[in-house]
């Protein structure tokens, strides 16, 4: 079992003796607007599909999504969430040494270490607002088999433009570039920054439908790559990897482009507006630093002498979860990540955090 993710509402609910739905979960990066109501209605109407096996290779759902995204279906591979690909790619590709651009999602390194792949970390600095140094990435890319880039990045929320990424990959054709675009749908104008349909044979793109459409329990992930690469990797996807409801979800999304596009547009506008308001609230007294983000979350840094562990413990007693980021390589115990929720919840939690800092004993290192 891998530990250290956000969203462990079940453990906290058990500790507090309450139901999981009583926990305010601001540690999990899912769409604050919730699932599309009509999608939920459709899934409820499809419950009887669980009485039979789903399509073994999710071919119909994959073809429908490919048509919606205007890319050839032979470039897509479906699996039980992007996590499946993160943990099988190192072995499937025969990787020996990789470069992970961070600070970023720990599962990239965990997936590599599972197969005894050597990992190098190249972390951006807080002084630069965690902006990735593409020159340094280019310099080191030729020394590894693959480069992992989360774009926009978790937990920093920083985005690298598609043109710059494509140039980086084109200049290092012997190196694979694994680009995780799970949070790109939250970016206004993000379609222009996608590597979807890239003609570069050394680019692998990971797509998640779980986060933007808020259906993480269905586990829906796609890998996009050159058809030869997809054929090679398909042997690593188990039969019936996508369950019946997950396939129905994809088919509905692909067949309702107007509703989907409007929902994504509203989500992007909402996240942008709330990021600004929450960051302004948190930084008002100058004690908390926030970093530029274009996703559905904000990376924050507490003042010296105050730890994220202390903050998380205080908030958990109020049935609130935020993400302690000290286990992200490249961050220390002062960092936490706040995922956006409703306007009232965002402002209330931001107010609680600032109030807790004001009330803490001065000069003592809070652990």
Predicted confidence (pLDDT) per residue in 210-250, tens digit: 999 999 999 999 999 999 999 999 999 999 999 999 999 99
Q: Give pLDDT, residue 364.
A: 47
Residue 78 CB contacts under 8 Å (≥ 6 apart), including other chains:
57, 58, 61, 62, 220, 221, 222, 237, 241, 242, 250
Q: Give pLDDT, residue 11.
A: 79
Residue 69: enclosing H or E segment and its boundaries? helix 59-69
Residue range 9-35+259-359, CATH number: 3.90.1150.10
Quick one: which of 79, 110, 6 has its CA closest to 339? 6
Q: Give pLDDT, residue 6.
A: 53
Q: Are 335 and 326 in contact (CB under 8 A)?
A: yes
| Domain ranges (residues) in the chain | 9-35+259-359, 55-255
* Residues facing 336 on adjacent strands: 300, 324
The model's pLDDT over 251-292, given as tens digits with 9 standing for 90+, comes to 999 999 999 999 999 999 999 999 999 999 999 988 999 999
Q: Give pLDDT, residue 363.
A: 42
Supply the pTM of this predicted model: 0.94
The DSSP output letter for 71 is S
Q: Determine the Cα–Cα distance for residues 141 and 120; give it in Å rounded to an integer.
A: 11
Neighbours of 73 (CB within 10 A): 17
Q: Determine the Cα–Cα distance for residues 36 and 42; give it in Å rounded to an integer.
A: 10
DSSP string covering 255-299, please? H-HHHHHHHHHHHHHHHHHHHHHHHHHHTTTSS-EE----SSEEE
Q: Give pLDDT, residue 367.
A: 54
Q: Give pLDDT, residue 10.
A: 77
Q: Give pLDDT, residue 366.
A: 55
**CA triple 66-156-102, angle to 5 deg:** 85
Class of the CATH domain delimited by 55-255 = alpha beta
User: Within the chain, which residues score under 70 in pLDDT?
Assistant: 1-7, 361-367
């Amino acid at each position: 079992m891998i530990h250290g993710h956000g969203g462990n509402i079940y453990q906290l609910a058990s500790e507090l003796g309450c139901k999981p739905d009583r926990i305010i979960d601001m540690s999990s990066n899912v769409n604050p607007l919730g699932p599309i109501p009509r999608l939920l209605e459709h899934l409820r109407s499809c419950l009887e599909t669980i009485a039979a096996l789903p399509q073994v290779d999710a071919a119909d759902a994959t073809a429908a999504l490919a048509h919606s995204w205007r890319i050839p279906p032979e470039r897509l591979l479906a699996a039980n969430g992007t996590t499946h690909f993160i943990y099988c790619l190192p072995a499937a590709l025969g990787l020996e040494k990789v470069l992970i651009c961070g600070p970023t999602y720990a599962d990239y390194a965990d997936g590599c270490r599972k197969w005894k792949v050597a990992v190098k970390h190249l972390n951006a600095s807080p002084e630069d607002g965690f902006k990735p140094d593409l020159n340094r990435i280019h310099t080191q890319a030729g020394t590894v088999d693959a480069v992992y880039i989360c774009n926009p990045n978790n937990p920093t929320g920083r985005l690298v433009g598609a043109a710059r990424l494509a140039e980086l990959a084109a200049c290092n054709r012997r190196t694979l570039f694994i680009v995780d675009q799970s949070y790109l749908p939250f970016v206004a104008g993000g379609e222009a920054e996608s590597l979807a349909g890239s003609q570069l044979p050394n680019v692998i793109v990971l797509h998640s439908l779980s986060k933007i459409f808020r259906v993480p329990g269905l586990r829906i992930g796609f890998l996009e790559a050159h058809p030869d690469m997809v054929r090679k990797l398909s042997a690593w996807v188990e039969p019936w990897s996508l369950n019946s409801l997950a396939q129905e979800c994809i088919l509905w999304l692909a067949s309702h482009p107007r509703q989907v596009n409007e929902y994504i547009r509203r989500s992007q506008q909402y996240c942008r507006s709330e990021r600004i308001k929450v960051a302004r609230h948190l930084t008002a007294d100058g004690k908390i630093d926030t970093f530029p983000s274009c996703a559905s979350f904000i990376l924050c840094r507490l003042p010296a002498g105050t730890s994220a562990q202390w903050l998380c413990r205080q908030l958990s007693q109020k049935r609130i979860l935020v993400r302690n980021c000290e286990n992200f390589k490249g961050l220390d115990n002062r960092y936490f990540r706040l995922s956006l929720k409703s306007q009232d919840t965002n402002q209330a939690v931001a107010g609680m955090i600032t109030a807790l800092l004001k009330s803490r004993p001065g000069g003592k290192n809070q652990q």
